[in-house]
Structure formats: structure tokens, C-alpha cells
Amino acid sequence: MVAPLKVGIAGLGTVGAEVVRLIDQQSRVLSARCGRGVRVVAVCARSKAKKRALDLRGVEWARSPLALASHPDIDVFVELMGGADDPALSAIEAALTRGKSVVTANKALIAKHGSKLAALAEAHGGALNYEAAVGAAIPIIKTLREGLAGTGIQRVYGILNGTCNYILTRMEQEGLSFAECLKDAQRLGYAEANPSFDVDGHDTAQKLAILASLAFGTKVNQKAVYVEGISSIAPEDLRAAEELGYRVKLLGVAVKTETGIEQRVHPTMVPRTSSIAQVMGVTNAVTIDGEGIPPITLVGPGAGGAATASAVVADIADIARGVRALPFGRPVAKLKQTTKAPMKHHAGGYYTRLMARDLAGTAATIATRLAEQKISIESIVQRHPDGGAAAANGRSAPVPVILITYATSEDAVHRALQAVRQDKVITGRPQVIRIEKN
């Protein structure tokens, strides 16, 4: 009989506790699938005294994460504490340098230190598995690293934050403001008391940096990601998107271009007929464009204790089977450096909403400025919210003008809009949303 795989778990919060339960509940299935048993033999947490609905009889309590990672009786160190630095970082380093394998759900740590930790895993022969760090139960890491190892990737993009997708879904379906939907998301537990990390796009950026490394063989570099959040999106943008055949999503996009790897997070208009446009609520989705194959879209729960724990246990099962994949699909020495691509070079279609002064010549001025930058218009919509009554009564209330451009450069769009603002034919700040085609 092969000896069971002995596991130590640091962190017994929602995910950690669920991992303990799942290993216990699925012990026979794991043994049958892996050819050996899997046992939790040691744990640590901030409070040993905290009441937990777990059977931890016979499980040793380590005095610290570092002590657990160094424990001579564990084969796998499972880090579920969170945080981009210590104590998680030191504990993982200690485990890897001792030749132990590591499983983590810590996207912040992988995004910041992934390349260094991968080098340690390579040098000492352990595995570094982190499926749960991106998309929870969606097997996107294994898909990019192993399932598509023989396929050249052109683009990977997706909905990587359930909080933002929930907010945009509610705004679209119920006509509510961003502030109203955010408040409700906090009440339901989908958003933190301080939601900026989610709604400003930084959570998505960490996940995208990891996916870009796997897809394109680059070193993980969150600083190379251009980031915008969703707080500027208004209900009128979502209504206009619907009329024009689009839906607004916060996307993380990594794409191979002639000048390098472009990584960006921002609100995006996607065709309503696309797979990713159908993903609503807190659900996540990732689409992969590979050479010679149709786009592949993976959809599923991107967060939550049960979903995240399932990915953690799957990573443990791989180690029990003896599977050892290079953490980023290539030796660390072959991973390329990447820098932040200037968005002024980004090319694509754009949605622009302007509040135009209701004066003679305004439309002609806007059209002239766009033409000067060689920007072609696919469609234009001008609305009088009051049916034109304001103009008839001599009042010059601003009129929403919505433009959809053909593919152009970001720099050209911003130069044109700057000129329009200097002409003083619009009020306020133009709303600009990029369009991502299938």
C-alpha cells in the first residue's frame, strides 16, 4: 500500500474549513482516483479556541504558519491565509525550499511573487499549484498550462470579478445607479465594506497578470496591467449598449500584438450574441482564442468557499497522483519580461457619450474633429430627453450624443475629444468605453 499524502493547512476560514470537510467527505473517492489516501495531519489558524464545525481530532495544531510549513511530517503545505507578503510568503518559501509541494488560493501572492516561488519549486522538486487563485472552480489554470500546451494563444479575456459582474447586471436589468447596486451588493455579502479593490479593477488585474503569464510565457507582472474600474458607468450607458446590440462587462484582456503583450482591465462593450455577454450575476467566465481552434469559454462560480475548496482539493489530488507541472507551463528561466503597454497604442472600436450643447453647428464641429483624426463613425444617436421642448422654449439644455466608431487608436480618440472640449460644444467629461469584438 502507498502511504497517504499528508497535508498541512494554514488558515481555517471559510475556504480552509471547507477543504478539511471535503477531504474527509471524499476520502474514498480521492483514494480511488489518486491511488493513495489524502490525510490532513496538521493545521494552524489565528485562533485555536474559535468554535468550528470541524472534526479535528487527531490533527496536530502548529504554533505558526512557518512551523507548519517546516513540519517534517507533512508532504503538502496548503496556504489559505491570504495576503501578498508575510506570513504567507515566508511560509511558502520555507515549504518549497524543503522540497515540499505547495497549494494556494492566494492570487495576490502569486501575482506579486509567482515567478520567484516558481523558481524555488523548480529548484527543489516540489509542485506549486494555484488553480483556486483565478476563477475558483473554473479550471482555467490547468486549461492554459496543460490542456492547451500545444496551442498558440492569441488572446485570453474574461469576467474575473463576481462583484463587478453582479453590479453591472443589476444596473442593466433594473435601471439602478452604480451606488445603489454597490450598496445592495454589500448588504448581500458580494462586496466588501471597502469595495475599491473589486470595483476599481485591481482584483481582476491580479488574476489577469497570472493568466497572461500562462498564456504567453511572460513573468507575472501586475504593474504591466492597465486598470480602470466600473464606478463611472451610468444606467444610460447600459441602455445605449442594449439598443446598439452590446452589453457592458468589466473585462480583463491579455492579447498578443505586434508590439508585445497588451494587458488591460476596463469596462468593455461586448456583442450581446457573444458567449461572455450571457454571463450574468456573480458568475465568472474566461474565453481563450487559440490558433486553429474556435474560441473556448469556461464559465462557473469564481468565488465562494465550496467552489474555491474544490479547486484546492483538485490541486492536492494532482500531487497525490504524482503530477508535477511547471507552475507557469515553462521553466522560469524562459519566461519573458513584460512591461506596461501604453494604451494610446490600443486599437479597436469605441463607444463615446457626449453631452452636446444644443446649438447650431455642434454636430458638424464634432464630426470635423473626428475626421481630423481619421476616425470613422459606425453609428451616431442623438437624443432630446424632453422631446426637444427645451430647444423650442429657447433653453440650450445639453443633448446626449452617442457615437460608435470603427477600429481606431486610443490616442486618436482622446485627441479628437480634447479638441471637441476646447471647442466648448460639449459639457462635462465624455464617457468612453472600449468595444471588444468576438
Same structural domain, 317 and 394: no
Q: How far apart are CA 438 and CA 281, in angstroms?
A: 21
Judge if 117 and 131 occupy the same domain.
yes
In a domain, 337, yes or no: no
Task: Specify if 321 maps to a domain.
Answer: yes
Left if phi > 0, otherwise alpha if psi is -120 to 50, otherwise beta: which for 347? beta
Instruction: Please check whether residue 249 is in contact with residue 160, taking contact to mean a CB–CB distance below 8 angstroms.
Output: no
- Count the alpha carbons within 13 Å of 38 in the hemisphere toward its beta carbon: 34
> Is 256 known to be catalytic?
no
Asked if 18 and 131 sit in the same domain, the reply is yes
Find the mean pLDDT for residues 87-103: 98
Task: Indicate the residue among 280, 299, 318 that finishes a domain.
Answer: 299
78 plus 216 within the same structural domain: no
Looking up residue 378, the CATH number of its domain turns out to be 3.30.70.260
Quickly tell me which residue has 477600429 as its cell: 407
CATH number of the domain residue 258 falls in:
3.30.360.10
* Averaged confidence pLDDT in the chain: 92
| Contact (CB, 8 A) for 54 and 19 | no
Q: What is the DSSP letter of 95?
A: H
CATH of the domain at 326: 3.40.50.720
How are beta strands 377-382 and 399-405 bridged, if at all? antiparallel
- Amino acid residing at 299: V
Are 158 and 210 a contacting pair, CB within 8 Å? no
Domain hosting 238: range is 140-299
2 versus 393: the higher-pLDDT residue is 2
**Annotated catalytic residue, options 100, 107, 112, 207:** 207
Distance in angstroms (rounded) separating the CA atoms of residues 157 and 296: 11
Q: Span 402-420, mean pLDDT?
A: 94
Residue 424: CB atoms within 10 Å: 11
In this structure, the answer to whether residues 184 and 274 fall within a common structural domain is yes
Report pLDDT for 303.
81
Average pLDDT for residues 12-26, to the nearest whole number?
A: 95
In a domain, 319, yes or no: yes
Helices (H), 217-292: 235-243
Same domain (yes/no): 180, 320: no
- Whole-angstrom distance, CA of residue 354 vs CA of residue 398: 9
Of 404, 406, 405, 399, nearest to 425 (Cα)? 399
Is residue 99 one of the residues assigned to a domain? yes
- Alpha helix positions (H), 193-327: 196-199, 202-216, 235-243, 305-321
Name residue, grid cell 464606478: 231
Give the bridge partners for 250, in sequence order: 267
Is residue 145 one of the residues assigned to a domain? yes
288: exposed, middle or buried (C-beta count within 10 Å: 0-12, 13-18, 19+)? buried
Q: Is the pLDDT score of 193 beyond 60?
A: yes
Percent of all residues in the chain with a pLDDT value above 70, rounded to a whole number: 96
Structural domain count, the chain: 3
DSSP assignment of 119-147 equals HHHHHHT--EE-GGGTTTTS-HHHIIIII
> Are residues 235 and 317 located together in one domain of the fold?
no
Please give the pLDDT value at position 259.
79
Candidate from 21-30, 181-190, 222-231 with smallest mean pLDDT: 181-190
pLDDT of res. 416: 96
350 and 284 co-located in one domain: no
Cα distance between residue 14 and residue 81, in whole Å: 10
What value, to the nearest 5°, has the Cα angle with vertex 142 and ends 43 and 146?
130
* pLDDT at residue 122, as a whole number: 97
User: What are 375-391's pLDDT values in tens digits?
Assistant: 999 988 876 655 555 44
Residue 1's pLDDT band (cuts 50, 70, 90):
low
Q: Is the pLDDT of residue 394 over 60?
A: no
What is the predicted pLDDT for the residue at 341? Answer: 79
Tell whether 335 is covered by a domain.
no
pLDDT per residue as tens digits for the range 219-247: 999 999 999 999 999 999 999 999 999 99
Residue 336 lies in a domain: no
Q: Say whether both 165 and 290 belong to one domain.
A: yes
Tell whether 289 and 158 lie within a shared domain.
Answer: yes
Q: Of 131-140, 269-278, 337-346, which range is least confident?
A: 337-346
User: Which residue in 250, 149, 144, 254 sits closest to 209, CA to CA?
Assistant: 254
Q: Pull the grid cell for residue 12.
A: 481555517
Is the entire prediction scored with pTM above 0.85? yes
The answer to whether the CB of 355 falls within 8 A of the CB of 428 is yes
Neighbours of 71 (CB within 10 A): 21
Same domain, 178 and 76: no
Residues 366 and 285 in one domain: no
212 lies in a domain?
Answer: yes
